[in-house]
Amino acid sequence: MLSKEQLEDLLAVTDCPVLFWLLVGVIFLFLHWNFWPSSRNRLEIPVIRSSNYLPDVINRVLYLFRAPYLIHYGYRKNKNSAFRLLRWGGDLIVLPLKYVDDFKNLPADMLDARSPSFEKILTSYMVFMTNHVVAAETVKKRLNPALGRLFPRFMDELDYAFQVEFPSSDEIGGWVRVKPMDVITRIVTRATSRVMIGDDTCRNEIWIDTASSYAQNVIKAVKVLSLFPEFLRPLVANILPCTRRLRNQLAFIRDTLLVPMIHERRADERSGDPQYARPDDFLQYLMDFAEDYELNTDAARTAHDFMAIVGMATVWTTSSAITQALLDLVVLPEFLPPMRWEIRASLGRNSWKDITEGTIVSQRRLDSFLKESIRLSPPMELTFHRILKEPIVLYDGVVLPKGTRICFPSGPISRDPGVITHPDSFNCFRWCFTTPSPWNSLVNVNPTNLHFGIGQHACPGRYFAAYVMKAILGRIIYEYDFRYEVHREDRPDNVYMGEAIFPDANVTLLFRKRLGIY
Residue set of the binding site: 459
Bridge partners (DSSP) listed for residue 490: none
- Structural element, H or E, at residue 365: helix 364-376
The DSSP letter of residue 38 is G
Distance (Å, rounded) from C-alpha 43 to C-alpha 511?
Answer: 53
Distance (Å, rounded) from C-alpha 404 to C-alpha 38?
Answer: 10
The DSSP letter of residue 170 is S
Contact 49, 87 (CB under 8 A): no
Contact 94, 71 (CB under 8 A): yes
Bridge partners (DSSP) listed for residue 393: 399
Please name which of 387, 407, 396, 409 lies closest in space to residue 41, comparing C-alpha atoms. Answer: 387
Please name which of 462, 515, 419 lies closest in space to residue 80, comparing C-alpha atoms. Answer: 419
Helix (H, G, I), strand (E, B) or coil at 150: helix
Contact 146, 138 (CB under 8 A): no
The DSSP letter of residue 255 is I
- Structural element, H or E, at residue 495: strand 495-497
Phi, psi angles (nearest 5°) of residue 48: -95, 120
Distance (Å, rounded) from C-alpha 391 to C-alpha 433?
Answer: 43
> For residue 139, what are the contacts with CB-CB under 8 A and spacing of at least 6?
282, 309, 460, 461, 464
Q: Binding site for heme: what residues are annotated?
A: 459
Distance in Å from the first CA to the final CA of the chain: 44
Q: In Å, what is the CA distance from 232 to each residue of 11, 89, 499?
A: 16, 11, 21
Contact 229, 32 (CB under 8 A): yes
Which is it for the CA torsion 384, 386, 389, 392, positive or negative? positive
Alpha helix positions (H), 197-232: 205-225
Distance (Å, rounded) from C-alpha 292 to C-alpha 399?
Answer: 38
CA atoms within 13 A on the CB side of 478: 21
